[in-house]
Amino acid sequence: MIQMKVSDGGRVVIPAEIRQSMGLKEGDMVLWELRDGVATLTTRLAQLRQAQALVRQHVPEGVSLADELIAERRAENARDETA
């Protein structure tokens, strides 16, 4: 745990160790999430990777949801045209 002091205007400097670990550079955008009184700092890339991991739990490797959706829509169109 790293201790930091809040300065004027509520500013806090992210310590170098944390910036390096997260791969942050000057000008990068970070995201804060506040949940149950706990603030979590993350990046868009980390959020994207977390979302991808969640999807991978439910979609087998090699399956394209986009391709499945397109095939489904084409099948619906074909049924509509014959009806």
d(C-alpha 6, C-alpha 27), whole Å? 20
Confirm whether 3 is domain-assigned: no
| Residue 67 pLDDT | 94
Are residues 51 and 77 part of one domain? yes
Reported as a single tens digit per residue, the pLDDT across 19-57 is 999 999 999 999 999 999 999 999 999 999 999 999 989
How far apart, in Å, do the first and last CA atoms of the chain sit?
66
Domain enclosing residue 19, as ranges: 8-42
Which residue from 18, 7, 12, 26 is spatially nearest to 42, judged by alpha carbons? 18
d(C-alpha 70, C-alpha 76), whole Å? 10
Are residues 50 and 30 part of one domain? no
Question: What's the number of domains the chain is made of?
Answer: 2
Are residues 62 and 37 part of one domain? no
Query: CB neighbours of 23 closer than 8 A, spacing ≥ 6?
Result: 43
Report whether pLDDT(82) > 90.
no
Are residues 50 and 37 part of one domain? no
Confirm whether 64 is domain-assigned: yes
Q: What is the CATH number of the domain that holds 13?
A: 2.10.260
